[in-house]
Amino acid sequence: MKAFQTLLTGKTPLGTWLMAGAPNTAEALGHAGFDFLVVDMEHVTIEFSDLAHILRAIGCTPAVPVVRLAWNDQVLIKRAMDAGAETLMLPFIQSAEEAKLAISYMRYPPHGVRGVAAVHRGSRFGTLPGYLANAHERAFSILQLETPEAIANLDAIAAVEGIDAIFVGPGDLSASMGHIGDIGHGEVQDLIAHAAKAAKRAGKPVGIVGPNPEMVQRFIDYGYSFAAVASDMGLMTGRAAEWLGQLRKAAAPSATSQSAY
């Protein structure tokens, strides 16, 4: 069974986003108990040489790595899979046609158009028996829907052979609806809830990311199959702000101790 697929057989898998691009951070959060970690190559300055190190770090933990690429691009997908990525998240899928291309990029001929190399990290440097024939059976595809148009096409996208899961991107979705930075807006929430129901009818697991536990729990109540909460940077800066606020409040002179003149 595919690594990410095993997570979907039990309780709702919980993950977080990796925005620091640091192997140590990835490894630490993998040991912290997250079920999956999303390596963000869309908005973070992570190169493919960095990716290999981050995947090695996560590989030391029980967490499953998910690599979110910058685009649904044949070359990017090939390089990520050669670097050892098996679960890929592809952003801004708008139609069944784009979904079909994504799946073809992840598969060797005759199932697709992925470029062939004999020795790379994905094949354990050529030591994994039957890799070329069976690589598509190890790969797990997560396609991101990030606009109302994409969600309107969810049924057609989900019907494409080889798609394993759908992922709703609330940030871009809210922006495309005219509510940038406000994923809690009623119209955005209604569409997020609708997407969960549509994916369930289509028989596909559907994931999402939220900024805090309260929002993530709301998404799970909508019917989302897996969810990420915040990011490594968000968790770090949030705790920093919390603790600094406590200490500075305690250290501030009280009104009664200040001079009256």
pTM (predicted TM-score): 0.95
Which candidate in 31, 43, 120, 185 is catalytic?
Answer: 43
Nearest to 232 by CA among 1, 64, 16, 54: 16
Per-position pLDDT tens, the chain of length 261: 899 999 999 899 999 999 999 999 999 999 999 999 999 999 999 999 999 999 999 999 999 999 999 999 999 999 999 999 999 999 999 999 999 999 999 999 999 999 999 999 999 999 999 999 999 999 999 999 999 999 999 999 999 999 999 999 999 999 999 999 999 999 999 999 999 999 999 999 999 999 999 999 999 999 999 999 999 999 999 999 999 999 999 998 865 556 555
What's the DSSP call for residue 86?
-
Q: Are 154 and 166 in contact (CB under 8 A)?
A: yes
Note if 43 is an active site residue: yes
Return the domain boundaries, the chain: 3-232
**How many residues belong to the chain?**
261
CATH code for the domain defined by 3-232: 3.20.20.60
